[in-house]
Amino acid sequence: MDNDSLYFLSNWANVESGGNALLTMWNIFKHISIHHYLTVAAIIFTIGFYGVIVRRNAISILMSIELMLNAVNLNFVAFNQIWGLKITRAAFTSNEDVLTPVGQIFTIFIIIIAAAEAAVGLAIVIAFYRQRHSVKVEDADLMRW
């Protein structure tokens, strides 16, 4: 068990014994590092991947794909935490840090693309449903091998 988990547990024990819950949570949040975000993103991505592989309903697959893209968003925002503040030449002449919010910009683009994909995808699923009266992917079986 690493230090963070021990810290979390000790704080939690503090709450259980009647400590200030809000203050305790703040203490815990302070210890959330980039690794926690990345781990959550990886887990979400894996859940999305699993959903695409396992689910038979086209709408569920679409939702799983959105989950994968949201994991990417989380990744970008988290990485932006380390790369966002970049020491450039300006830092030597003035005390300014120059912001390069590439990750956050990319996140906005991915949100747009996910929206476009959902719009087109739902339309395609509806068009498919009108003809086959099903949204199950195993019913898309007119063409095989």
* 15 forms part of the interface with another protein (CB under 8 A): no
CA–CA distance, 37 with 41 (Å, rounded to integer): 6
Q: Which is nearer to another protein, 11 or 45 (CB)?
A: 45
Phi, then psi, of 88 in degrees rounded to 5: -115, -175
The site for another protein, by CB under 8 A, has a size of: 47
Q: What are phi and psi of 98, to 5 degrees?
A: -95, 125
CA dist 58 and 64 (Å) reads 10
Name residues contacting another protein, limited to 35-54 (CB under 8 A): 38, 45, 48-49, 52
Structural contact between residues 15 and 62, judged by C-beta atoms closer than 8 angstroms: no
Cα 21 from Cα 143, distance rounded (Å): 59
Taking the least distance from each CB to another protein, the nearer of 3 and 131 is: 131
The verdict on 104 binding another protein (CB under 8 A) reads no
Using CB under 8 A as the criterion, which residues of the chain lie in contact with another protein when the complex forms? Answer: 38, 45, 48-49, 52, 58, 61-62, 65, 68-69, 71-72, 75-76, 78-79, 82-83, 86, 88, 98, 100, 102-103, 105-106, 109-110, 113, 116-117, 120-121, 123-125, 127-128, 131-132, 137, 140, 142-145
